[in-house]
Structure 1
Amino acid sequence: MKTLAALREEGHTLYDQFIQKILNLRGIIVTAKEPSESCEICQGPMRVQKTFRHEGRTISHGTFQVHETIWVCAGKCRHPSGKLVTQRAKSVSQCIMPNSIAGYDLMVSVGCKRYLDHLQREEIRAELREKHAIEISCGEVTRLEKCFLDYHARLHYSCAEQLKAALYNEGGWPMHVDATGEHGRGTLLVVMAGWKKCVLGSWKIATEHSELILPCLRDIVQRFGPPCAAMRDMGRAITLAIDELVLEMGINIPVLVCHEHFLADIGNDLLETPHSELRALFSRTKVRPKLRSLVRDLGRKIGEQIGEARKAVQQWQSIAEANHRIPEGQNGLAVVRSMAQWTLDYKADATGLDFPFDRPYLDLYNRCVITLRALDAFLRIPPDDRKVVSAAKRLHRILVLVSCEVPFFQAVRRLRHRAALFDELRDKLRLASELPENESEDDLNIMRDNFDKWISGIKKRRPERGPSEDIRNAIDTILKHADKHGNNLWGHIVPLPEYAGGGIRLVSR
């Protein structure tokens, strides 16, 4: 073991010496004076304009100083912009960006670390310093990130003809359009080719307005050809922009509504009000802050014995006897603490799809009720430890607010009834879980039949009068959305042209 430790220590020493030698190369000066070519305008000779020293930083060469010679046309030819015709040394211009000391490979490295590896600026600086002995500022990292995006966009659009040919050979491309953004920070508009699953264009626009969206869609169609279908959300701006684009193109293509957006819109209208009421009730009763305070207090009492207490809780949870009781002493406090913490961990019940597909405050309510029932059972035969009983009763007092207040019961009942309708709709559109990877034409036809039958069914279930006003309003909300967007929910089957092999292909829902 001592030998292995000594070998590792020697390896670290050699590595540090290697890095130091690389750092010592930063003072090296190289000369870049290459024979000039003829002027690109008059084909005449070039003469030396100036020789100057500047710094360069690249992944391949590290940090260095270069004496570079700049050549200028002897006849003083000028570009249309008015600038003199000059030539730089190719060995420098091919590795260092114009008006910069950073190399192309450094720019690509920073861009990949930021947008692919999701590193922060300080993390990027530290990695460049440790691995390549290159020092750059935070501002330079930001500038190189923007340069990377600019060059990436140029490369993308320079390959537009090849991409257009590839999309055409596949039989066309379905246009998926979506816009998202935070309040006050603009909107990101994205157009994607559905079958290729590649982004064809993205823009930062001031607001989601059809007059700003339509020019972007026109640009994409001009570069990559007309789409064979269009998939959109239910926003008014994108709807108007796509309808206008289809009218301008003069072709008949299906314009579809994204099923997930359709569900999310209905879910927000159905569940937002009762879910907000439930959130306000939890905020007013301060259930979560009180639970967190209890967990902290019990954690302090357990102290350094938390490891042993955790094992005791796991062992207690594995007991399956009929007369299951809360233990005494530190283990009992740990059990009460674990019950409070489990109640606070209600977000573990979420699927990650966010509201309205997840209802976090309904999950919190359910966990509160389960924990309260468990406490009622355990306190019927309490442990012979006053501190443990006191902690359990404190937890009971916190949670009993949830079950004894009428507003909680009313909000939860409304939310559950509406959520049941919403989950039925999710099931009919097969979005209650993950989408099937390979849906067929028959799958879509069966899904449409089931959806139509379900819509007809809830029309019959709709109460005309009586105390069921909330369910009546919920059903009316669903029917309103189905009537408005029903024509755009179906049409995912796209026939392929003969040159692409014929047959059909489905647009992703």
Structure 2
Amino acid sequence: SRHRRIVIAPVPLTPPKSPFAFDLIAEAGRLRFLGHQQLLEIQERFREQGLPTIPLRTIQRLTDRFVLYHTATHLESLPRLREALEEFGGYVLVLDGTGAAGKMTLVLTDDDDSGGTGWVLLAAPIAEESVVRVTPHLERLKRGLGPPVTGISDQSAGLRDSFRGVFPGVYLLLCQFHVLRSIGESLAGKRYARFKSEVERSGVKRALRSLVQRLRRARGKCREARQTLMWVEEILAWEVETHGRTFPFVWSALEFYGRCEKVGGALEAVLHRPGRRANGSPYLQLEKALQRLRAPAKRGARLTRDLPALRERWGWFERTRRVLGYRNGPVPLSPKGTLSEEALERGRRRQDWLEGKIEEEVGEKSRSSVTWELHRLLRGVRRSCGSSREELFAPNVVAQVNGKQVVRH
């Protein structure tokens, strides 16, 4: 007779000198870093699974150990990662340092805009973006993955010098996002910060939000109430219509003020029509709210003085954005991943056009301090674009993907 078949579950693998198996460590790490759960929530989840109550300090150690094991596994798997990246024609290395000086993280990823994977290839804490701190990590990446197809970074000298030292002869492009962000912040400057502060202090946003709530509760059916509600909602819609863009890719205070101006002009035309209105009519309530941008006199004067200067600066920022081919649409903000040779040449011609327009502007003499300030900022824009000309529109790099030639950047 045959013996009865017995299936015995394997003994869970356990790290040396540890009472907790690898599967529990993996579950703790998954809940903490992928499930974004707090230590108390993880403790409760384990209790629901029939485990005894694990101290919070022990759960913290389990998650710390998960990070160490995960990092070790990733570094040991670099040869396999290299094989996977070769199916995409190699990798385009994006270098970025996040965080404040002293507590930064160097993140090295494969660019996904140019047909890559978007995978994080290596991440490591660094004290600063210097050659001494960054070079060892790039050398480790080179040993495991080989040289990249090309590289992309911001204007950090430490990142760029490290890349050129470890990967000589490999194209290093300049990230358009960081270039534009730097230009936008420079053009906005303290003048925009002051303008935004004055708009916020005026209280007009609070007054308009209060008014729209009253109008919605009242559900007025008269034409005046409906029109007022439509105007107020049009002003407040600026928050939604920015599509998640942040400063300096949208100057929210300038956009808000412009909408108030537009509605205020339409409202003034209506109020000048003959006919009497009650003191509490929707039109007069809206007019009272918008008047906060003009009072008190000193604040209103500052807003009126800064407005034309900021609009001119925003116009220059938009010209620069269009020249670099950067679409200012919904997040994520990004240019087209790859450009044809014709598009690259067109981009270079646009860059020449922008530099010519800036030359014309700064060549005009003026006694206005506002104009002098604008000319100084535009010279900075010209230097930023001119010094990075070849890195903003570099020649395409072609890679082999499944036997086909594909432009990776």
- Quick one: which amino acid aligns to residue 177 of structure 2? E
- Quick one: which amino acid aligns to residue 132 of structure 2? E
Whole-Å Cα distance in 2 between the matches of residues 349 and 243 of structure 1? 41
Secondary structure, aligned partner of 1:368: helix
Whole-Å Cα distance in 2 between the matches of residues 493 and 278 of structure 1? 42
Q: Tell me the residue number matched to 2:202.
A: 287
CA deviation after TM superposition for structure 1 residue 307, in Å: 7.0
Q: Tell me the residue number matched to 1:238.
A: 159
CA deviation after TM superposition for structure 1 residue 115, in Å: 2.7
Whole-Å Cα distance in 2 between the matches of residues 114 and 382 of structure 1? 65
Listed as ranges, the gaps of 5+ residues in structure 2 are: 1-8
Q: 1:105 to 1:469 in 2, by over 3 A?
A: same
Kindly report which structure 2 residues correspond to 1:48-197, keeping only aligned pairs within 5 A, or say none: 91-92=11-12, 94=13, 96-130=14-48, 135-168=53-86, 170-182=88-100, 186-194=103-111, 195-197=116-118
User: Given the alignment, which residue of 171, 178, 185 partners 1:268?
Assistant: 185
Q: Tell me the residue number matched to 1:430.
A: 325
CA deviation after TM superposition for structure 1 residue 231, in Å: 1.2
Q: 1:97 to 1:369 in 2, by over 3 A?
A: farther
Q: Tell me the residue number matched to 1:203.
A: 124
Whole-Å Cα distance in 1 between the matches of residues 313 and 208 of structure 2? 34
Whole-Å Cα distance in 1 between the matches of residues 40 and 257 of structure 2? 42
Deviations 1:253-301 (A, max 9, x none): 1111111111111112112233112123235xx223x6436756996xx
Q: Tell me the residue number matched to 2:141.
A: 220
Q: Normalising by structure 1, report the TM-score.
A: 0.65
Tell me whether 237-246 or 435-444 shows the greater mean CA deviation: 435-444
Whole-Å Cα distance in 2 between the matches of residues 437 and 488 of structure 1? 15
Please say if residues 365 and 402 of structure 1, whose CA atoms lie closer than 8 Å, have aligned partners that are also in contact. Answer: no
Deviations 1:121-162 (A, max 9, x none): 444445444566664444444333322222221111111112
CA deviation after TM superposition for structure 1 residue 219, in Å: 1.4
CA deviation after TM superposition for structure 1 residue 181, in Å: 0.5
Listed as ranges, the gaps of 5+ residues in structure 1 are: 1-60, 62-89, 317-323
CA deviation after TM superposition for structure 1 residue 415, in Å: 1.4
- 2:314 equivalent to 1:419: yes
Q: 1:267 to 1:387 in 2, by over 3 A?
A: closer
Q: Tell me the residue number matched to 1:58.
A: none
Whole-Å Cα distance in 2 between the matches of residues 231 and 356 of structure 1? 21
Please say if residues 369 and 402 of structure 1, whose CA atoms lie closer than 8 Å, have aligned partners that are also in contact. Answer: no
- 2:295 equivalent to 1:401: yes
Whole-Å Cα distance in 2 between the matches of residues 122 and 132 of structure 1? 16
Kindly report which structure 2 residues correspond to 1:439-454, keeping only aligned pairs within 5 A, or say none: 439-454=339-354
CA radius of gyration, larger in: 1
Structure 1 vs Structure 2 CA RMSD: 3.6
Please say if residues 180 and 189 of structure 1, whose CA atoms lie closer than 8 Å, have aligned partners that are also in contact. Answer: yes
Q: 1:258 to 1:492 in 2, by over 3 A?
A: farther
Deviations 1:187-240 (A, max 9, x none): 110112333321111011122222111111111112221223221110122122
Please say if residues 179 and 190 of structure 1, whose CA atoms lie closer than 8 Å, have aligned partners that are also in contact. Answer: yes
Deviations 1:313-354 (A, max 9, x none): 6x66xxxxxxx4248xxxx9xx67x86676566433423232
Whole-Å Cα distance in 2 between the matches of residues 346 and 427 of structure 1? 22
- 2:269 equivalent to 1:348: no
User: Given the alignment, which residue of 217, 224, 228 partners 1:325?
Assistant: 224
Whole-Å Cα distance in 1 between the matches of residues 296 and 244 of structure 2? 25
User: Given the alignment, which residue of 272, 278, 285 partners 1:384?
Assistant: 278
Q: 1:345 to 1:389 in 2, by over 3 A?
A: closer
Q: Tell me the residue number matched to 1:278.
A: 195
Whole-Å Cα distance in 2 between the matches of residues 406 and 287 of structure 1? 13
Q: Which has the higher contact order (CA 8 A, sep 6+)?
A: 2
Q: 1:295 to 1:307 in 2, by over 3 A?
A: closer
Matched residues, number? 386
Whole-Å Cα distance in 1 between the matches of residues 94 and 139 of structure 2? 14
- 2:229 equivalent to 1:369: no
Please say if residues 256 and 492 of structure 1, whose CA atoms lie closer than 8 Å, have aligned partners that are also in contact. Answer: no
Deviations 1:12-38 (A, max 9, x none): xxxxxxxxxxxxxxxxxxxxxxxxxxx
Please say if residues 172 and 228 of structure 1, whose CA atoms lie closer than 8 Å, have aligned partners that are also in contact. Answer: yes
- Quick one: which amino acid aligns to residue 147 of structure 1? R
Secondary structure, aligned partner of 1:418: helix
Secondary structure, aligned partner of 1:353: coil
Q: 1:386 to 1:491 in 2, by over 3 A?
A: closer
Q: 1:291 to 1:197 in 2, by over 3 A?
A: closer
Whole-Å Cα distance in 2 between the matches of residues 145 and 99 of structure 1? 17
